[in-house]
């Protein structure tokens, strides 16, 4: 008989899975030692490098966009003097190291501002062809590398002029925090710029200078390795950026020095949208590397390895007891029934059937004994009927489940449990603070850019021609996706021209950037710029809240919000209600503490909040720096549960929960298999066997499975056929004398 199913496979699978789970438990619950650097610290460096890459890419793209936009605006107006062009450009956008206007016909420099721009790199390929006027990286005589951005000035009745602006490919102006350094790396591993290294002259001892030299060498080595990694495709990269970062990112470990090991995260510059191919910064082949020396973790004691072995040993013992219980209560009686039923089907009626003690097998055994008596011509009623228990073989299954649950529940819910006393690396708190400050800087710069764009647009507005003004606003709204609407208002607040949606709030004047809409469904963020030569007229742009929300969503930061001076929510990385308060009083206190001026102004702050059994890492960064947005008084605050960090205590807790859940899955799969394939068919078989023993010879028995139960069903069908033939023969013999008497 081919045993494709039956009782043996699930019990064998149960034993194998228990042994596998025991081995896994011994491996993951009792490691000989934790990694020298927590995964959370490495992941934080990766996120820091991604943030730096995003900031650098956005800075490069904004500079290129602003130059092209300025050139387009100049070409649409009257011819302008080159000196005036550069003066207005430097006044509106203070972001270039040098600017030059060149006459393309004569090659003469018409005007120049800031750093001297060399012109030897200008050739036919730069000015013509498919890649004409594409930004280029050029090395100066000093060895520094500059990004040259070009735009064409095409005035009527004048030779074409070339507007050139140079940008330094320096590390983004972000807060690196203590001990962290960052580098911008070109293809091939060449370091173009670094930040965060102290000057050797400022160090006080030879030991400090030796450590600085070690870190600089580590940055060079790690930069070369990072450049090789980022040359791979984002899909096939060994360590692709986590949580959807469009470029290639990952982590690296360097050498150790004085008990600290160099950790690095790297990220290639990539478009904000993976489907976007127009990013200038993404096409330069640059990589940002963030390096931080971290104190090495000490290995844990051997007692933790012993805990894992004890848990695995207990599971093996429970598994052996469970398998023995199933073998004795289910498998052995079922196999005995299979042999007895086959004996009866062959016609061996000499000895009584061995009836199991209880359950469905006892009912089937009793029915077989009654059928044996019927086949042998004895009194079937004298053998009684099997016990009709409601539980039957469900009892050993339940006992087996309870036995295994006695291991799963304590391991999953009690072993390696954490509380508020968990030690969180100080690096995580510092990185939360520094990355929050970086997000605050991004939002502040975006608001500054929005107001600068408005200033640029005001030069194209003709207040005496409302139709032309509306056309200018419509065109600007299409190019600037950050705005929801653009409109020109007078002193009284009346709208003279508009593009986009209706204004959601009145412009109250005063602040260049303000928030309104209190009591509505969403905040209304407005930026304004006075229209030159038209006193009382103001160009107002309402910035989309969704645009601000998109700047806040960063992996590894948790919940991020922008709040006003009263700690009310203006924007958030997840859903929020307009002007709602922060969910915890401790977060509100953190915002207020960050707004207190220390020295030159408010500073960012990080905090470890322990409440109940949870640990929360939070940080607040008030707006600071330059630009009109620095004075609005807003703060970016972020917080996340420390359970999301990949540090040893939480990893051990997660592994314990995983082991318990795997044990539960093992119980469901194996015992559910036995119940569906063996117990339920056996209960149906017991009912059919009792009906057959009670005299129901008409119901044909069909086996559903090719297993022990199916074999018993086939044997019972043969017995039914034998009893049916026996009854027919008896009826025929009893009818023959009556037929003879009628013939005489």
State whether residue 38 is helix, strand or coil.
coil
d(CA 133, CA 286): 20
Query: What is the Cα–Cα distance from 523 to 148, expressed in whole angstroms?
Result: 39
pLDDT tens per residue across span 479-509? 788 899 999 988 888 888 889 888 888 887 7
Count of Cβ atoms closer than 10 Å to residue 529 Cβ: 22
Give CA separation, 359 vs 302, 333, 684, in Å.
Answer: 48, 10, 13
Q: What average pLDDT does the structure give for the chain? A: 83
Q: Both tokens of residue 554? A: 């960063």
Average the pLDDT over 51-68 and give the result.
Answer: 85
CB of 537 closer than 8 Å to CB of 496: yes
CA distances from 392 to 336, 383, 679, 686 (A): 17, 21, 9, 11
What is the structure's pLDDT at 1?
39
Q: DSSP string covering 578-644, please?
A: TTPBPS-HHHHHHHHHHTS-BTTB---EEEEEEETTEEEEEEEEE--SSSGGGGS--EEEEEEEGGG
**What's the DSSP call for residue 419?**
-
Q: E strands, 186-318, where? A: 191-195, 249-257, 260-268, 287-295
Percent of the chain with pLDDT over 90: 15
Checking if the pLDDT of 335 tops 50, the result is yes
Confidence band (pLDDT; 50, 70, 90) for 708? confident
Model pLDDT for residues 320-330, shown as the tens digit of each residue:
999 999 898 88
pLDDT computed for residue 4 by the predictor: 47
* DSSP codes of every residue in 314-351: HHHHHHHHHHHHHIIIIIHHHHHHHHHHHHHHHT--SS
Angle at 606 between CA 601 and CA 609, to 5 degrees: 140
In the numeric block, which tokens belong to residue 178?
Answer: 């203590």
Contact between 204 and 246 (Cβ < 8 Å)? no
Average pLDDT over residues 339-353: 87
| pLDDT score recorded for residue 240 | 44
Give residue 234's pLDDT band: very low, low, confident or very high (50, 70, 90).
Answer: low
CA 50 to chain centre: 14
- Annotate 552-575 with DSSP letters as a single string: H--TTS-EEEEE-TTSBEEEESS-
What secondary structure, in 3-state letters, does 490-520 show? Answer: CCCCCEEEEEECCCCCCCCCCCCEEEECCCC
3-state SS, 43-107, equals HHHHHHHHHHHHHHHHHHHHHHHHHHHHHHHHHHCCCCCHHHHHHHHHHHCCCCCEEEEEECCCC
User: Which tops the pLDDT comparison, 88 or 490?
Assistant: 490
Within 10 angstroms of residue 92's Cβ, the number of other Cβ atoms is 15
Average pLDDT over residues 149-158: 84
Is residue 460 within 8 A of residue 520, CB to CB? The reply is: no
Give the model confidence (pLDDT) of 570-599 as tens digits.
Answer: 999 888 888 999 998 999 988 888 777 665
Measured between its terminal Cα atoms, the distance across the chain in Å is: 56
pLDDT in tens, 186-197: 888 888 888 887
Q: How many CB atoms lie within 10 A of CB 397?
A: 24
- pLDDT of 159: 85
Sheet holding 605-611, edge to edge: 569-572, 559-563, 635-641, 614-622, 605-611
- Is residue 660 scored above 50 in pLDDT? yes
**Closest residue by Cα to residue 299 from 44, 43, 654, 37:** 37
Question: Strand, coil or helix: what is 289?
Answer: strand
Measured CA to CA, the distance from residue 387 to residue 50 in angstroms comes to: 71
Does 742 have pLDDT greater than 80? no
Task: List Cα–Cα distances, 291 to 182, 228, 231, 596, in angstroms.
Answer: 6, 17, 20, 31
220 and 289 in contact (C-beta within 8 Å)? no
The Cα 85–Cα 113 span in angstroms is 11
Instruction: Enter the tokens of residue 244.
Output: 């959807």
Report the pLDDT averaged over residues 555-569.
90
* CA 525 to the chain's CA centroid: 30
Per-residue pLDDT at 559 exceeds 90: yes
**Angstrom distance (rounded) from CA 94 to CA 452:** 10
Dihedrals phi, psi of 489, to nearest 5 degrees = -120, 155
- Taking only the tens place, the pLDDT of each residue in 413-432 is 888 888 878 888 888 888 89
Angle (nearest 5°) at CA 731 between 727 and 733: 115
564 or 733, which is more confident: 564
Least confident residue range of 104-118, 127-141, 210-224: 127-141
User: Which has the higher per-residue pLDDT, 236 or 621?
Assistant: 621
At 233 the pLDDT is: 54
Give the three-state DSSP class for 521: coil
Asked if 278 contacts 295 with a C-beta cutoff of 8 angstroms, the reply is: no
Nearest Cα neighbor of 241 from 48, 382, 96 is: 48
Q: Is a pLDDT exceeding 60 seen at residue 549?
A: yes
Give the C-alpha separation, 744 to 742, whole Å.
Answer: 6
Contact 77, 301 (CB under 8 A): no
* pLDDT recorded at residue 743: 46
Percent pLDDT > 70 in the chain is 89
Q: Name every residue whose Cβ is closer than 8 Å to that of residue 691 and which is 6 or more positions away in sequence.
A: 699
Backbone phi, psi, residue 28, to 5°:
-95, -25
The answer to whether 480 and 66 have CB atoms below 8 angstroms apart is: no
pLDDT of 665 higher than 90: yes
How many angstroms separate the Cα of 203 from the Cα of each of 165, 179, 291, 293, 508?
37, 14, 20, 18, 53
Structure tokens that stand for 299 in this block: 């290995």
Per-residue pLDDT at 594 = 77
Side-chain half-sphere CA neighbours of 57 within 13 A:
27
Please give the pLDDT value at position 368. 87
Q: What distances in angstroms separate CA 485 from CA 329, 461, 465, 499, 503, one per listed residue?
A: 77, 16, 19, 6, 7
- Check pLDDT > 70 for residue 107: yes
Q: What is the mean pLDDT of residues 241-256?
A: 77
Confidence grade of residue 94 (pLDDT, cut at 50, 70, 90) = low
Mean pLDDT to the nearest integer, 264-282: 73
**Which of 359-363, 427-431, 561-565, 651-655 holds the top average pLDDT?**
561-565
């Amino acid at each position: 008989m081919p045993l494709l199913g039956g009782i043996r496979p699930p019990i064998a699978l149960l034993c194998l899975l228990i042994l596998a789970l025991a081995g896994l438990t011994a491996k993951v619950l009792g490691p000989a030692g934790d990694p020298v650097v927590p995964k959370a610290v490495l992941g934080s460096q990766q996120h820091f490098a991604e943030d730096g890459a995003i900031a650098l890419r956005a800075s490069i793209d904004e500079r290129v966009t602003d130059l092209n936009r300025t050139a387009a605006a100049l070409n649409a107006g009257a011819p302008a003097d080159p000196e005036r062009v550069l003066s207005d450009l430097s006044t509106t956008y203070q972001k270039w190291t040098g600017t030059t206007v060149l006459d393309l016909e004569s090659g003469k420099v018409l005007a120049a501002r800031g750093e001297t721009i060399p012109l030897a790199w200008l050739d036919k390929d730069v000015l013509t062809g498919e890649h004409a006027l594409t930004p280029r990286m050029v090395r100066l005589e000093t060895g520094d590398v500059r990004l040259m951005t070009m735009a064409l000035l095409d005035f009527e009745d004048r030779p074409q002029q070339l507007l050139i602006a140079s940008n330094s490919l320096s590390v983004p102006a972000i807060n690196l925090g203590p001990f962290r350094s960052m580098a911008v790396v070109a293809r091939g591993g060449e370091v173009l710029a670094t930040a965060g290294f102290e000057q050797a002259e400022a160090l006080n001892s030879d030991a400090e200078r030796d450590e600085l030299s070690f870190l600089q060498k580590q940055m060079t080595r790690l930069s070369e390795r990072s450049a090789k990694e980022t040359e791979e495709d984002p899909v096939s990269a060994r360590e692709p950026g986590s949580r959807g970062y469009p470029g290639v990112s990952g982590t690296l470990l360097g050498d150790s020095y004085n008990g600290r090991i160099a950790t690095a995260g790297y990220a290639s510059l990539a478009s904000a949208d993976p489907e976007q191919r127009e990013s200038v910064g993404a096409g330069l082949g640059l990589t940002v590397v963030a390096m931080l020396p971290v104190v090495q973790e000490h290995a844990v004691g051997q007692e933790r390895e012993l805990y894992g072995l004890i848990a695995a040993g207990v599971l093996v013992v429970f598994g052996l007891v469970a398998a023995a219980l199933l073998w004795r209560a289910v498998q052995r009686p079922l196999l005995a029934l299979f042999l007895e039923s086959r004996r009866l089907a062959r016609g061996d009626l000499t000895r009584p059937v061995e009836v199991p003690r209880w359950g469905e097998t006892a009912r089937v055994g009793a029915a077989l004994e009654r059928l044996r008596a019927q086949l042998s011509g004895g009194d079937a009623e004298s053998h009684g009927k099997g016990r009709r228990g409601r539980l039957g073989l469900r009892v050993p299954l339940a006992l087996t489940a309870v036995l295994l649950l006695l291991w799963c529940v304590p391991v999953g819910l009690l072993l390696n449990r954490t509380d508020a006393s968990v030690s969180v690396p100080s690096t995580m708190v510092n990185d939360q603070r520094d990355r929050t400050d970086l997000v605050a800087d991004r939002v502040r710069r975006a608001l500054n850019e929005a107001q600068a764009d408005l200033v640029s647009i005001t030069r194209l507005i003709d207040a005496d021609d409302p139709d032309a003004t509306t056309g200018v606003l419509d065109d600007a709204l299409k190019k600037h996706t950050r705005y929801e609407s653009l409109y020109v208002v007078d002193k009284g607040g009346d709208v003279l021209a508009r593009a986009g949606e209706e204004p959601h709030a009145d412009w109250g004047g005063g602040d260049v950037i303000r928030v309104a809409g209190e009591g509505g469904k969403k905040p209304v963020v407005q930026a304004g710029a006075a229209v030159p030569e038209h006193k009382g007229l103001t160009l107002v742009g309402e910035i989309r809240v969704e645009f601000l929300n998109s700047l806040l969503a960063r992996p590894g930061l948790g919940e991020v919000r922008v709040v006003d001076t009263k700690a009310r929510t203006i924007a958030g990385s997840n859903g929020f209600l307009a002007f709602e308060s922060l969910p915890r009083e401790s977060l509100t206190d953190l915002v207020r503490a960050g707004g207190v001026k220390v020295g030159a102004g408010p500073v960012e702050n990080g905090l470890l909040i322990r409440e109940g059994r949870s640990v929360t890492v939070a940080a607040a960064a008030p707006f600071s720096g330059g630009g009109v947005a620095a004075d609005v008084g807003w703060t970016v605050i972020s917080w996340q549960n420390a359970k999301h960090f990949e540090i040893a205590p939480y990893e051990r807790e997660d592994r314990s929960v995983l082991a318990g859940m795997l044990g539960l899955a093992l119980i469901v799969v194996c015992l559910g298999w036995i119940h569906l394939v063996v117990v339920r068919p056996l209960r149906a078989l017991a009912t059919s066997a009792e009906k057959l023993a009670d005299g129901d010879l008409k119901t044909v028995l069909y086996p559903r499975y090719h297993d022990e139960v199916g074999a018993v069903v086939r044997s019972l069908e043969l017995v039914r056929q034998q009893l049916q033939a026996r009854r027919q023969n008896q009826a025929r013999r009893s009818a023959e004398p009556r037929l003879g008497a009628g013939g005489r």
